[in-house]
Amino acid sequence: MVFFSNKGQTGVVTAVIMAGIIISGVTAALTWGIPLLEKEQDVREVEETVDMMLELADEIETVAERGGSRTFDVDFERGSLVFDEEANSIDFAVTTNAAFVTTSEWVPLNARDVRGIDIVGEGDSYGVAGRDRAGVVLGITDLRGEEYNTRLMIDFRELNDLETDRGYQIDLSVSGEDVLSSGSHTFYVEYEGEEVDGSSKRGGPLEKQTVSITVG
Concatenated DSSP letters of 97-131: SS-SS--SS-EESSSS--TT-GGGT-TTS-EETTT
Mean pLDDT (10-residue bins), the chain, 216 residues: 49 49 46 50 81 95 96 92 95 84 82 92 93 95 85 96 97 94 94 96 97 93
Q: Please report the pLDDT score of residue 145 as a whole number.
A: 82
User: Whole-model pTM?
Assistant: 0.80
Q: Please report the pLDDT score of residue 146 as a whole number.
A: 81
Q: Please report the pLDDT score of residue 206 as a whole number.
A: 97
Spatial contact of 133 and 167, defined as CB atoms under 8 Å apart: no
Q: Please report the pLDDT score of residue 36 as a whole number.
A: 45
| pLDDT tens digit sequence for 138-195 | 999 888 888 888 999 999 999 999 999 999 999 999 999 999 998 999 999 999 999 9
The CB-side HSE value for 106 (13 A sphere, CA atoms) comes to 22
